[in-house]
Each structure stands twice: as C-alpha cells, then as structure tokens.
Structure 1
Amino acid sequence: MAQRLSARGSLRIVMLSDLGFEYGAGAAMRRQIQSLLLDGHEVAVVCAGSLHEGRVVAASDPGVAALVPRGREFSGTWLGVHSVPAAACMDSRQRRRCDPELLAMVAWLQPDLVIAGNLHWAGWSAAVLEALTRRGIATVAYMHDLHHLTGRCAHPYTCRKFLTGCDASCPTAEKYPALSSELIADEWMVRRHVFVETAVPLVANSTWTKASADAAFGNAATVDIVRLGVDTKLFAPIDRSLARHLLGVDEKPTVLFGAVDVGQVEKGGVVLQHVVDILQREGINFVAFGYGSAAYRGVRGLGYVSDERQMPILYAACDCYLSASAVESFGQTVLEASACARPVVTLRGGGIVDIARDGVNGRTIADAEPRLIADVVREIACDAAARDHFGAAGRLIAEREFSLDAQAASWRAWMSSQGEPRASREQGQSMSEARP
C-alpha cells in the first residue's frame, strides 16, 4: 500500500458500513470521507441496501448533501454510495448468506484499501474482512466502538467476558445488536482468527479504544490510532445572542446535552435527570437533543437532529455542554462543542478524555454523582470568564488536533506505514488497471 501511495499520490478507498451515513458512526464516516477526499483519494461507500434501495447515491442527494466541507473543494473523487441487498443481513443465523454479494460489490470497485467501520446492524460477520484480505484487498477494521472485539455487543461496559471468551451466557444477548446465544462464542473466536491469525489490522478512534483492543487480543493484534476529525469551519463559534434568538432561549444560564438516543441509561439518563432537577430550581435552563430528549422533565427536548449543519446553533446558544455517558469510545459531541468554543463537562473515562481535558477546555469528573456534577456545571455555566477561557482552549484543541486536515494527515501516515496485502502485488496491479 505504501508503494502504491508513493507512486500515485492517492488511493482508491472503499468505506464498508452497515448504515451508511446514519447516526454517530455514520457521521464519523462522513467526516473520514471528507478528510480522504480533501487529501486527493478516490472514495466510495458500500453499505446495506435497505437505506438506498440499490441506488448509487450522488453527492447532491439529501442524505449526503453535507459531504463537501464549508468553503473547501475536494481534490479527490467521490464515487458514491453503493448498496448490497439487505434481505439476508438481518438474520443472524444466516449471516454469511450476504457475504458473496458484499464481496462481489467491493471487488467490483477495485479498491486499494477497504476501511470497515460498523457492521453490526447488517449482521455482517468479521469473517468478511478475512475474505477481502485473502482476495488481495488491503483491509483495516476501524473501531467506532468495541464490536470488533466482542462476540456480539458494541460496548461491554462492566462485562469483561470479551477478554476471556464471550459465549452463550452473554447477559445482554437480546439487546442490540442481538445475536442468537449459540452463535456468540463462534463470533468471538472469528475475531481472534481474523485479527490475530490472519493479522487484519485495526485502527482505533482513541487511546482508550486502542487499549481495549490490546487487552482483548493480548497485544497480539496490530492496533493503531487515527482519531476522528470535525469540520472546524462548520463547527465554529457563532454569536451567542444570535444563536439564542434563533433557538428561542432566554438569557438565563443554559446547559446542553444530547446523543443519538440520549434516553439510554448508558448515556447517563438517570444521572442527567437528577442534575436537571438540582439546577433547574436555581434558574438554569436545559436543552437536549436526540431520541428520548423529550422524556426529560424540565428540559426542552429537540428530538433527533438529522442535519448536523443545525448543530452549531445549539452549541452556540448554550453556556456549557454536559456529557454523563458511562463510556464513550470517542465522544463526537464533545468534540463538536469544543470546536464551537463551548466548555465541556464530562465523566472521566473512555475515549472522551482524549478531547475533554480537565482544567483546560472544561472539567472531567471521576464519579457519576449528580450533586458533584451539578456543582461543576453551575460553576462553569454561571461564570462568563470561565466559559470564555475553557471555550477558547477547546476551539484551539479542535483546530490543532481534530480538524479534517489533521485526520487526513493521520490516515496518510498510517497508509504510508502499510505493506502489501497477502495476495501478490501483480494481482493488485492488474485489478487497478481494470477499474470501473
């Protein structure tokens, strides 16, 4: 791969994804694509077919209209979204039925590299990655969560079975992504075969995610880090008064929190409600976004915001962004808030601490104790000087370390460190000569 990159200056890359641009991992993939296109690569997406009904989705389609970063032009080529039939993908007992069609679609695009993100909604097995590698297609698994490490779940939280062997005793087998209990041990073993024996590399989104992978595979797998980036021209400071006028928020101190599904216990649901109850009595406003946001008492719930171009207004209108998630592998909303120069308050754990730095761009808290969190939120939200200080530091962190250009540079450095896949170099060259 390094030789091809050196000779041509760019690669043809296929992003493999279950849900395309939907939800958190979809937003992360879109930002990865933005970085890769800015860096001159050719990029296509292959995803499960139910989202796009077999169409090749153009950049002008509403689902990808936000692809071109504000004020930028791509030097690379966008090859669209290509889907495979999803009918078989949701049946965990028959999951390999969709593999031949998936492999054929990827092979038809003749990529130099496949970056496989989340696969769990489609039910695609990790064995797909080995099959691509054996076809001579360089493949890497990108870790938006921990699904590439476990036998089933995306986040094991306090369960440690993924370190020793997931099996039919999985305590959450019925939860998303559900998998028949008798298949869990097999999928756990498949991942050990793919990432250790076949040596398909993994790339993590944070220091914590990499540490989790190293622990899961006993340091026997190849795991690197390429942190996610954000469009710092879109996610940028906006006049606070204007944002509040647009959102209809008064001048009281205002706290924002949210997620794709902010009602989940894992996103801090119970803790967040307690914090709201404490601070609302003191005249502090709360605004939330995401599924489940309307269920919070005393909170203005905005629901799921599908267009990220609306999000900077929300961040600008608040005095503080709060995350009470039990575990985040990265923390995209914390990065977005920081890029918009908003101070952040988070729990101290997971990959979120790569972005949220205690005493720098906000505060990180060791324990999910509502009164302690409320004290810290009050301290920041009601202090304009602290808000501006932490906000400016967060903006600087985003610009220096998490911009689209920084992400592009990290991917290029990773590609430059990689050799050829196991199939012959001649096979790869002949494939590239006959590309569609």
Structure 2
Amino acid sequence: MLEHDGHGIPDGRDRAADHGIAHWPFDSPALDVLPPTLPDGRAWPSIHILTPSLSDAPGFLATAASITGQTYPSVQHHAVPPDPEGAARVEALLADDSADYLLVLRSGDLLAPGALAALALEAVLTDAEVVAGLRVVFGAAVLGLDAVAQAPGHLDAAVPAGHLGAFTGGECLLSRAMVRRAGGLDLPCGSPVADLWPRLAGSRFARIGRPVLLQYEPELDPSPPSPGLAIATLTDHGAGGGAGIAHRRLAAALVLAGHRVAEHRLAGEAVPAGAEWQDSFPRTEAAIRDGGYDLLLVGNIHGATRRLALLDRLRRHLPVAVVMHDFFPITGRCAFPNGCTRLVTGCDAQCPTPTQYPHLAPARIAGVHAEKRALLTAPDAPLLLANSSWTHDYTRGNAPAGTAVARIDLAFPTGVFRPGDRAALRRQLGLPAGDVLVMFGAVIADAPGKGFQDLMRTLRRIARPGLGFVAVGRLDDSTSLGLPNLFVAGPVAEEAVLAQWYGACDIYVTASLNETLGQTPVEAGLCGIPTVAYRASGLTSAVIDGVSGVLVPQEPDALGDALLTLVADEPLRKRLGGLGRIALGNRFSDAAAALTFNDRLVARGLLAPPPGGRQRFSPRLLGRFAYARDRYPGETGTVSGPSSTPIRLLRRAKRAVLGRDLPLWARRGLYAGGLLIRAVRRFR
C-alpha cells in the first residue's frame, strides 16, 4: 500500500491533464492562509485519504496531485490494493487512535481547493462525525453540482444516490472512531461509503456549502433536474439597502438551486411618503395572485405600507413565507423593539418611539398589531423565516403562540468577498501602507440604530498614531466626528469594490445591538478580516467568537479593549482572518442558503424531497466560489450613490430643527404633497 504525505509527487500535475484538469475553470487561489492551529490552539486533526486502487491505476496521480494542492498540515494518502494485505492495513488504520478522520477518494476523482481544511474545521466546530460538502461532477465539462439533502443533525439511513453519477462518498469526511464502531470499511466492494452509510444512522451530521469533491464521470449523460418551485419575491423598493441586498442574494441562490424566481416591488404603486396610510397595491397583488406561483417570498415591505393586509389577502391564494430581515412582521410598528416590553403585552398608543422609522400614528398602533397577530395565527398563515438562531428564538418567543417560525441562512457571494493583496489594495485606494486600519460601515454609516454614538466614543478613546479608521456608507458630516486619521469611502454600490475596502483593512468593528444577522461582519470575514462586536442579537451568528472575530459583553470599554488587543496582535488578526474565511464560507455561501431554505420547505410540505436524496444545482454555481476562473463579478447599484452637497446640507438642517425623527404633522404634509404630485402627473 502506497502512502504519501502530500509531497513528492513530481508528475502529478502533468498527469492531471489526462482528466481535464489542465482545462478546469480554476483561477489562481484566493489569498487564503491556513492558520497553523485550530481556534483553541490544538493541531489540525489528522486526515487519512483512502483510494481503493493500485498506485499506477489510471488517474491516481491526478488524485494525488489534488491532495498535494490542499496544503493541509496533517494528511496521508493511501493507495489500498484489493488484496488481503490492503484489508489488513485498513483494519490497522481504523484501530489507530492517532487517525482522526477518513475520506474515501476514487482514483481519478479530485479534491476541490481547500476542501480538507473546510471539512475539518466544520467537524471541529460542530463536533460532527460526518461532514459532507458539495460534489462537482465533470467529464469534458462541468455536468452539475449536488449535495446530500439531509438536514444537519442526526444522519438517517437513506443512501443519497442522486442522478449525477454514483454516490462514492468522496465529499464526506468520516470520523475514524465512528467508522470503526460501524463495522469498518469494505474497500474492495464497488461503493464502500454507500455500503457503510446505513450503518452510520444516528451519527452527528454537518453539511458545508462549498465544493469538496470533483467527481470524474466521462461517460455520464445526466438526467435533467426536477423542476423547482415558481417563486414570487416581494419587497418595497427592491435590492437597495441592507434588507434588499439580503433578499436579492437569497433569491439568486434559489435560482441556482433550480427554482424559478420573479421579482415584484410595491414601489411602483406606492405614494411618496404614504406608507403610513397606504395598503392597496392592486396591480402587484393581481400579478402575484394570477401568476401561477407556488410560493410568495416576502422581504421588507414597510417602506411602502405599515400593514400586512396585502399578505393576508394573498395567503388565501398561495403559501407565503416572510424573511425576518427585521421584526416589523410581529410588532405594532417598529423594526427593532430595542428591549421594549410592550411587544409582549400588546403594542399600543403608549409606544415610546412612534416618530421613529417606520413611524406610525400612536392611535393606529394597537389596531395594526392586533391585525398582524391575527394573520400569524390564521389558517395558512405565513411562515416566518429567521436568518439567525437569535432571531429565531426572539421571534418564537414574541410572536403569537402557534406562529410558524423556521431558521434559514442568508446567501453571500463568497467568490466576490474574498481576500486580496492588502498592500496593493491600499495603494489603489489611497490608504496608508503601514497603519493598522479599523473599518466600520453601514448603508447609513452614522445611523443611530447601529450604535453610532457608542462607536465614535470607542474609536476616539483608542485613537493613536499608527491607527487609522475607514468609514463606508453615507456620512453627511465626517468632520463632526472628531476622529483623527479617518478615511471616508462613502457609499459603495459595487460588491467587488466593497470587497476591496474590506480587504485593505485589518479589523472590522460594529457597535450595533440590533441585527437579525449582521451582513457586514460576514462580508468582512469572507474577505479575511476579523470583526469585533457586542455579544448581542444576530451578531452571535454573524461573528463566530474566537473563529471569525471577538464578541464582547455590553460593558463600558469592552469594545475598545478588544480592538486594542487585536491592533497589537498581528498574528491573532491573521489567525482569526484565516479561520473566519473558511468557517463563514462553509455556512453562508449561495449553496448553504439554498440547502437550508429547501430543508425548511420540505419539512413544511411545501417542496417534495429531492430525488435520490441529493439537491442539485446549476453548473453556474461553481462561478460563485473564489477559486473559479469565470467568477460571478458581483452586483452593482446596491446602494444609492453619494448625495449632492445641497441634499446633505438639507438633511443636516432638518436634523438640527426636527432631529432624525419626523413628527406626525410633517409626515401628513409630505403625504399630501405626494398625493398632489401623483394627481398632477395623471392629469398630464
């Protein structure tokens, strides 16, 4: 039995061309650096890869080369011949306590870049005994991608067959101890992992949303995938702003999973400044009702209406699911209760913040809240989809008893948000080469709901020579912040450019306490920079404490002290950046989001389980990952561009006179003006 440790395969790269790899759509690897240890300081677990063949079998050297390219610190590759000696060596390996995990890889099949580190880190973080990733099936071209469709938890006994070639199990990392308890591996049989799978029932199972296995099937003519759902998405103003961006990304992930998605917006029928009074959108309602859709997927609509009456009417015609980008669907009027206890007893005219957006006249709050609660407990009520564990628990605890709530993951373009050459990016963006740069941002960078005043106090306290700050997002008056060495990027509407700003910095920080997830820490982590944040709200999912960043208690100076620790400790920053890139890429890719979404729909009976127990994806999904040559370039126009000087001055004047909120008389005046403008346009 041949063994190698990932080194010394001189002709493996040349032989890879025999299997199409010379023409494989891979770019040069992203600037990922694998940290030398796990988050707790332990060594990376040992992985033994078993290839049931002779070392001179066709394709073996290509397989070996793909393992060499992993740069994983503790891997051994074994060519296991079909003879008694090979069987005895496998038995000895299963009895060896120094071997942590096994992976069975056919001769000619390949590991995707970074696969071993991704599988191993998820196994360690979740204590899983089986970790499965995506399979890419290829011949002369990419034929498709798929994944085990079982939801994370405890493995069932069904073997995931699928329709993209036989299940070889090469995308599954297996605990060596678990395999031994299950009776071992019969490598000479044609499909050893499929044979083992039923004996793994009840094992702890985890799934990552990134390619692991490149399975070579030169003769395969794959059957067409089963058609997905016809899904209508509904938002107030589309993909602008944080919630709109999140909803668009989720919709794009569902398209890659085979669903047909059509976008609908309320903005075309909305009266300017009329959301507080408008709840009729007949054209949009008719288009959704009569469109032959299987599901309505709703994002934020409170920018166009303060009621859910439209959803109440539509749920009588098709299933409705509402993504909890904030808590508006369960409150009387607000997006984030901020600790207000009236949500439990019933929102009413005693609301402490009726003039804050989304504002509503106090006299109407109780009625709107009662209307929402009735909708959430009605027959065929909407399914509320929470995008973090904290949001799921908060929603379940504060929505009416019996409300349908399920947990999903959001999607991020992991090939756009990727590490870059920090020195080159700083030269390109005009940032100082030697300073430690701390970045903060939001669509509206100085929004009070993002903890902006607390953040400014923190940053002013830690400011010192050699430490710079980068602000991304709308910021009307940066000179008023009193923050030295500040670089203002302004609104960044292109995802690829935003990734450059992240990649040029060293640390990301947020003082927000109100996030159902927190997209910016995930984007930062995918770009290889750690986040410092409070241990609060959905940030406890967006920042993996000790892996992709540091979570601190809500105490004075805690945020600043953690920042100073990272500023002074470059190795720690690099370790968190490297680990975070892997862990967040596993959990927040397009594939990960689509898989969890489909899990929830199958559990609710809204979607049939995928044939063969494998979820298929379009070949275009490959372009969403960092190592693809033809990568998805990212979206543009995600936020509004910089405001003109007069507009900024008007906003500052308005804040000076009225503050950030709008009194009821001002809202009524704006609404009346909107109605007048609409009437004039119709007359013309």
TM over 0.5: yes
Matched, 1:203 2:385: yes
The partner residue of 1:284 within 440, 445, 467 is 467
* Match runs of 1:216-365 below 5 Å: 216-250=398-432, 251-292=434-475, 294-295=477-478, 296-297=481-482, 298=484, 299-365=486-552
Assess, with a 3 A threshold, how the Cα gap between structure 1 residues 359 and 286 changes in structure 2: closer, same or farther.
Answer: same
Matched, 1:372 2:555: no
Matched letter for residue 259 of structure 2: H
Q: Contact between 2:257 and 2:594, CA under 8 Å: does it hold in 1?
A: yes
Matched letter for residue 255 of structure 2: L
Distance 1:91 1:237 in 2: 41
Assess, with a 3 A threshold, how the Cα gap between structure 1 residues 365 and 31 changes in structure 2: closer, same or farther.
Answer: same
Q: Could you say which residue in structure 1 is the equivalent of 2:265?
A: 47
Q: What SS is found at the alignment partner of 1:215? A: helix
| Structure whose alpha-carbon radius of gyration is higher | 2
Question: What's the offset of the Cα at 1:22?
Answer: 0.6
The partner residue of 1:109 within 291, 294, 299 is 291
Distance 2:470 2:601 in 1: 41
The ranges of structure 1 where at least 4 consecutive aligned residues each deviate by more than 6 angstroms after the TM superposition are none
The partner residue of 1:419 within 605, 614, 628 is 605
Matched letter for residue 403 of structure 1: S
Matched, 1:179 2:363: no
Q: Structure 2: state its 5+ residue gaps.
A: 1-224, 608-684
Distance 2:305 2:487 in 1: 36
Question: What's the offset of the Cα at 1:111?
Answer: 1.1
Q: Contact between 1:89 and 1:123, CA under 8 Å: does it hold in 2?
A: no
Distance 1:29 1:293 in 2: 27
Stretch deviating more after TM superposition (307-316 or 232-241):
307-316
* Match runs of 1:7-22 below 5 Å: 8-22=226-240
Q: Contact between 1:268 and 1:324, CA under 8 Å: does it hold in 2?
A: yes
Q: Could you say which residue in structure 1 is the equivalent of 2:626?
A: none
Matched, 1:28 2:212: no
Stretch deviating more after TM superposition (28-37 or 189-198):
189-198
Q: Deviation digits for residues 76-131 of structure 1, max 9, x if unmatched?
A: xxxxxxxx4122882523x2333x33311212332110011101000152122221
Assess, with a 3 A threshold, how the Cα gap between structure 1 residues 399 and 420 changes in structure 2: closer, same or farther.
Answer: closer
Assess, with a 3 A threshold, how the Cα gap between structure 1 residues 88 and 104 changes in structure 2: closer, same or farther.
Answer: farther
Assess, with a 3 A threshold, how the Cα gap between structure 1 residues 361 and 20 changes in structure 2: closer, same or farther.
Answer: same
Distance 1:91 1:30 in 2: 22
Matched letter for residue 325 of structure 2: H
Q: Deviation digits for residues 12-37 of structure 1, max 9, x if unmatched?
A: 11111011001001110111022011
Distance 1:187 1:307 in 2: 37
The partner residue of 1:85 within 269, 276, 280 is 269
Matched, 1:398 2:584: yes
Matched letter for residue 229 of structure 2: L
Normalization by structure 1: what TM-score?
0.83
Q: Contact between 2:306 and 2:333, CA under 8 Å: does it hold in 1?
A: no
The partner residue of 1:149 within 305, 308, 330 is 330
Distance 1:174 1:102 in 2: 28
Distance 1:25 1:129 in 2: 18
Matched letter for residue 193 of structure 1: A
Q: What SS is found at the alignment partner of 2:550? A: strand
Q: Could you say which residue in structure 2 is the equivalent of 1:132?
A: 314
Q: Contact between 1:39 and 1:408, CA under 8 Å: does it hold in 2?
A: yes
Q: What SS is found at the alignment partner of 2:418? A: coil
Matched, 1:193 2:411: no
Question: What's the offset of the Cα at 1:215?
Answer: 1.4
Q: Contact between 2:354 and 2:361, CA under 8 Å: does it hold in 1?
A: yes
Distance 2:532 2:606 in 1: 44
Q: Contact between 1:232 and 1:399, CA under 8 Å: does it hold in 2?
A: yes
Distance 1:138 1:121 in 2: 23
Q: Contact between 2:547 and 2:580, CA under 8 Å: does it hold in 1?
A: yes
Question: What's the offset of the Cα at 1:282?
Answer: 4.0
Q: Structure 1: state its 5+ residue gaps.
A: 1-6, 50-83, 422-436
Distance 1:361 1:125 in 2: 38
Matched letter for residue 109 of structure 1: G
Assess, with a 3 A threshold, how the Cα gap between structure 1 residues 420 and 339 changes in structure 2: closer, same or farther.
Answer: closer
Q: Contact between 2:462 and 2:560, CA under 8 Å: does it hold in 1?
A: yes
Matched letter for residue 355 of structure 1: A
Q: Deviation digits for residues 111-152 of structure 1, max 9, x if unmatched?
A: 1100111010001521222211112x1111110000011010
Q: Could you say which residue in structure 1 is the equivalent of 2:45?
A: none
Matched letter for residue 298 of structure 2: A
Q: Contact between 2:376 and 2:400, CA under 8 Å: does it hold in 1?
A: no
Q: What SS is found at the alignment partner of 1:287? A: strand
Distance 2:564 2:533 in 1: 13
Matched letter for residue 415 of structure 2: K
Question: What's the offset of the Cα at 1:309?
Answer: 2.1
Question: What's the offset of the Cα at 1:218?
Answer: 4.6
Stretch deviating more after TM superposition (401-410 or 265-274):
265-274
Q: Contact between 2:409 and 2:597, CA under 8 Å: does it hold in 1?
A: no
Normalization by structure 2: what TM-score?
0.53
Q: What SS is found at the alignment partner of 2:591? A: helix
Question: What's the offset of the Cα at 1:279?
Answer: 2.3
Distance 1:309 1:48 in 2: 28
Distance 2:428 2:564 in 1: 24
The partner residue of 2:595 within 390, 409, 418 is 409
The partner residue of 1:385 within 571, 584, 587 is 571
Distance 1:31 1:346 in 2: 24
Distance 1:169 1:217 in 2: 19
Question: What's the offset of the Cα at 1:337?
Answer: 0.5
Question: What's the offset of the Cα at 1:278?
Answer: 2.1
The partner residue of 1:161 within 339, 342, 345 is 342
Distance 2:476 2:511 in 1: 14
Matched letter for residue 320 of structure 2: T
Question: What's the offset of the Cα at 1:203?
Answer: 0.7
Identity of aligned residues (%): 32
Distance 1:91 1:31 in 2: 25
Assess, with a 3 A threshold, how the Cα gap between structure 1 residues 184 and 300 changes in structure 2: closer, same or farther.
Answer: same
Q: Contact between 1:294 and 1:300, CA under 8 Å: does it hold in 2?
A: no
Q: What SS is found at the alignment partner of 2:403? A: coil
Distance 1:292 1:88 in 2: 24
